[in-house]
Amino acid sequence: MGLPKIKFTPEAIFGFVANHGEKILVGIVVLCSLPLAWGGINALRLKTRSSKEDPAQIMRLVENANSLLNRPLPTDQQTELNKNLGSTSVEPSASLEAWNPTEISRLSVDSGLNRPLLGDIQRRQVPVIFPLEQLVANAGVVAIANQDDLLMDGDPSFAGGFSDMEMMEDPMALQPTVMSPPAKKMPYIILSGLIPFRKQLDEYSSLYSRASYQSAERDLPIWHDYAVERLEVRPDGGGKWKVIDITRLYEDWKDNWAGTSPDSIPQQFILPSTQNLFDPADVPIGYWSPLPALAAKPTLSGVDGMTGGDLGMGDPGFGSSWGLQAIHPWAKEEMKKLLDEQKKLALEQQDGMGFGGGIGNGMESGGEFGGGMAGTTTGTFSPFQDTEMGMDDGTMAEQYDDGMMMGYGPDGEGIMLNQDYCLFRFIDTSVEPGRLYRYRVTLRAWNPNWNLPKKFLENPESGDEQFVQSVTSEPFPSLDATPVHVPADNLLLARLLLRDEKKTYGLGVSDQELLVLDSNEDSGNFEMHSIESKPGEIVGSKKGARKIKQFNNRRISVPPHNVDSDQTLLAVVGQQTIDGKKRPGRGFIPPEPLEILIADSAGILDVISADACEETVREYLPTLPGFQPPQAVDPNMMDEMEMMGF
């Protein structure tokens, strides 16, 4: 009998499938189930719980071990055990707790393939808003540009002109002129802190990356406003916390500030505008408070700038920026790192990029006051577009650009997702000189579940509140530290003097001089006065108490008005007078540094030294009545003196 012939005609293939197809399918199923069957058999054989693994048996063994470890030992055995362990006491329970924690931290967000295949139906929760970190405060008194003179359509530095006292014209045209731009003194305390930006982003991501309802706007933190509490410390050390009325403070700024000072801090350190949204009609300022424009410093005319007679005095116009005193210490270190990176990049590329390649793109806003705030809005202000669509539970949908999920706001401003912190700044101009203060801050953010349908929320009531509030930051300074002290309105300074200089200013060799940085009666700007002081007396002087001699032999009375610092000189250490004619010889011992102990009206002690005051004294020395600027020397005369052997 011959072998059957195999045909591959369509009829033959169809017939084979019709007759044997179900057998082939059954065989495939059986082969695929064999590994599962073997796994089940292996589990029954090897992984079945034995009697020793029964929970009751395990608990009994634990109790026996615990009683064994905690049983009292005889005195000699306990002494020997402590000696061997090198400890005076043994706590078995504490040792067990170290590797058997009772608290379980939240799992990290799933990423990649380690997540549910068909999504999660996790409902939305209320996030934790983290408080401000590393709050610091800096106090001082500055001269700001005069708003009244600016409103008179004059130059903000010289509006209103100068009085006879401000421009003391000499008949012989030999006495230089002190030009004092109009200004107002303003005591202040600048608060700065760190917003935990990265930490807050992680909190939102852990809650909403797998939520049943997702929104590009709601799933990123958006801060709204904040509350600043201030405690004025009484003499007995007590005080009451009070919330600062920021709206009233803002109105005071508009009435008194001539403009805002430009900021040179890089934008990346400041909270993006898309993450700090508020209605200007209700919240006047955001998390980065503006600073007032400083007044120009007094200048000395009639002195040739090429001879160095300017002595560092500022140019006319608005004053310089606030500098490092308005920058948080963390930002200073980060800016140094950026500067080093920019320098390194510039050296590599050799294209002269320098510092301006990145960090120079700071905030250069300034000018008229307004803080960059928008006008009032109509209707209910909301940062969430889906609350304005009027959609019900069944029609809510996502209508956002995919780019917004990548960390970009509606206006295209990028969010620095790699930034750990953003800066917070607030200036309190309602403080008084000589007072002591403490501060604490509470942040508030938009509730990402506000007005959402209850079916998306784990707690149906979590969508009723419009905002979520953080816990209050730790007070600064802490309750066991010295409070922030606002310095006196009239700053006391010290300097070293030659014997001849003391004669010029009408002082004896043994007289003690203190400098008072007071206010010019006409311009309101800073003006320096030389005051003869004695320990135990208040530093001050009546008008015209001394007469000093000018280089043209004309005598003038100083000070030109009454000066009262409201501070008491307690003690003086060191030597103020220097004998310029006496040369130090062998065995010369330098005198002690000049240090002066003072106390203000509140009893706050302070030590001032000539070394620490040197820069400020040099800056405002030309405003001192009777100041004699260095005289220019003719180069031809110098050549003649050299030829004559001098």
- 460 and 454 in contact (C-beta within 8 Å)? yes
Strands (E) located in 5-132: none
pLDDT of 429 reads 95
- The pLDDT tens digits of the residues spanning 363-421 come to 444 554 544 333 333 455 666 666 544 444 443 333 333 333 333 333 334 455 567 89
pLDDT of 96 reads 60
- The pLDDT tens digits of the residues spanning 173-193 come to 455 677 888 899 999 999 999
The token duo for 48 is 């079945």
Tell me the domain boundaries of the chain.
133-151+185-291+319-372+411-485, 491-623
Q: Which residues of 428-461 are buried (b: 16+ CB within 10 A; e: fewer)?
A: bbebebbbbbbbbbbbbbbbbbbebeeebbeeee
**For the chain, how long is the longest CA-to-CA vector?**
150
Strand partners, 144: 184, 294
- 294 and 181 in contact (C-beta within 8 Å)? no
| SS3 label, residue 646 | coil
pLDDT of 506 reads 82
Task: Give the distance from CA 219 to its chain's centroid.
Answer: 26
The token duo for 625 is 């009545």
pLDDT of 102 reads 62
Q: What are phi and psi of 105, to 5 degrees?
A: -75, 160
pLDDT of 480 reads 85
Residues of the chain short of pLDDT 50, as ranges, are 88, 109-110, 153-173, 302-317, 353-365, 368, 370-378, 388-414, 646
Neighbours of 489 (CB within 10 A): 17
Q: How far apart are CA 504 and CA 516, in angstroms?
A: 18
- Return the C-alpha torsion angle 502, 508, 511, 514, nearest 10: -30
- The pLDDT tens digits of the residues spanning 8-28 come to 788 878 888 888 888 888 899
Residue 616 carries which DSSP code? H
Q: How far apart are CA 328 and CA 424, in angstroms?
A: 9
One-letter amino acid at 410 equals P
Instruction: Name the nearest CA neighbour of 419 among 247, 584, 267.
Output: 267
- 261 and 321 in contact (C-beta within 8 Å)? yes
Q: Tokens 């905690």 label which residue? A: 70
At residue 598's C-alpha, the angle toward residues 593 and 600, to 5°, is 155
- Return the C-alpha torsion angle 510, 511, 512, 516, nearest 10: -160
pLDDT of 646 reads 47
Q: With both helix axes pointing from N to C terminus, report the angle between 55-70 and 92-99 in degrees, rounded to the nearest 10.
A: 140
pLDDT of 42 reads 78
- 278 and 224 in contact (C-beta within 8 Å)? yes
Cα Rg, the chain, nearest whole Å: 39
Q: What share of the chain is helix, strand, coil (3-state, %, to 5)?
A: 30, 20, 50
C-alpha pair distances (Å), 233 with each of 481, 588, 605: 12, 48, 16
C-alpha pair distances (Å), 210 with each of 78, 214, 380: 56, 8, 30
Q: How far apart are CA 57 and CA 274, in angstroms?
A: 60
- 491 and 517 in contact (C-beta within 8 Å)? yes
